[in-house]
């Protein structure tokens, strides 16, 4: 049985994806992407390790989106506002 990611792990999951070199971001209020295809290809091995570490996160999609939106500001991308790192 695959491990289920816990809601409290959303911030560390996002941070690990960023550290892997992917520009994770919310798309509206219901979806998120890990980054563009080139970023994901370059980080494929690390993303596989992240998947294994955190497990299934489908049930937390809205929580992850909510977290991403909470650290984003309309004027500044989350990677520039210092809230994650």
pLDDT higher at 12 or 2: 12
Backbone φ, ψ for residue 54 (5° rounding): -95, -25
Residue whose token pair is 């049930």: 59
Could you report the per-residue pLDDT of 3-17, keeping only the tens digit for each? 999 999 999 999 999
Among candidate residues 1, 7, 16, the one with its CA nearest the CA of residue 58? 7
Could you report the per-residue pLDDT of 37-79, keeping only the tens digit for each? 999 999 999 999 999 999 999 999 999 999 999 886 444 455 5
> What is the CB neighbour count within 10 angstroms for residue 22?
22
The pLDDT value recorded for residue 7 is: 93
Residue 31 pairs with which residues in a beta bridge? 27
d(CA 52, CA 76): 31
For the whole model, what pTM was predicted? Answer: 0.82
The pLDDT value recorded for residue 46 is: 98
Structure tokens of 32?
């998120």
């Amino acid at each position: 049985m695959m491990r289920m990611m816990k809601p409290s792990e959303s911030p560390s999951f996002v941070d690990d994806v960023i550290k892997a070199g992917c520009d994770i971001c919310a798309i509206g209020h219901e979806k998120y992407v890990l980054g563009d295809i080139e970023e994901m290809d370059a980080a494929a091995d690390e993303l596989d390790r992240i998947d294994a570490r955190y497990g299934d996160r489908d049930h937390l999609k809205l929580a992850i989106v909510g977290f991403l939106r909470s650290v984003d500001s309309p004027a500044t991308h989350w990677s520039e506002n210092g809230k994650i790192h």
